[in-house]
Amino acid sequence: MTKNEKGRPLHEAAPKDQHPDFTGDNSTAAQRSRLLVALETGPKSTIELRRTWDILSPAPRVKELRDQGVQILTNRVQHATECGKLHRVALYVLLSTAAAGVGT
C-alpha cells in the first residue's frame, strides 16, 4: 500500500482481539444476538462493540432490542480510541431481558 492509498490492507482488517464466537455472519439478527451476549458479560462502549464484537452501528441494534422489550440503559462516557484520542460515546448496560423473552 502506498502512502497516498486510503484504508487498511485486507490482512489488517480484523482486530486481533475480535471475539472468538464471531462466525462471520453480519446480518442484523446475528448482530443483535452478539450484542446481547456482549452485554450479558457487562457494560460495553460503542468503541468496544465495533472493535471486538463487529457491530459497526450499535445504536440501531440497541433500538431493535429495546423494541423487543429488552431493557438497555445508555450512559455517555469518555472513551479512548486505539490512537489515544478521547471521544464521548455510549456505554450500554443490560438491565433485563425478561420482558422480551430473549437471551438467556
Give the pLDDT means over successive 10-residue stretches in the chain (104 positions).
51 51 81 96 95 95 97 94 90 82 53
pLDDT at 75: 97
CB 69 within 8 A of CB 39: no
The pLDDT score that the predictor gives to residue 98 is 66
Which pLDDT score is estimated for 11? 41
Spell out the domains of the chain, with CATH numbers in brackets: 25-96 (1.10.10)
Half-sphere exposure of 15 (CA within 13 A, CB side): 15
User: In this structure, are residues 25 and 56 in contact, taking their beta carbons and an 8 Å threshold?
Assistant: no
* pTM exceeds 0.75, yes or no: no
Structure confidence at residue 1 (pLDDT): 47
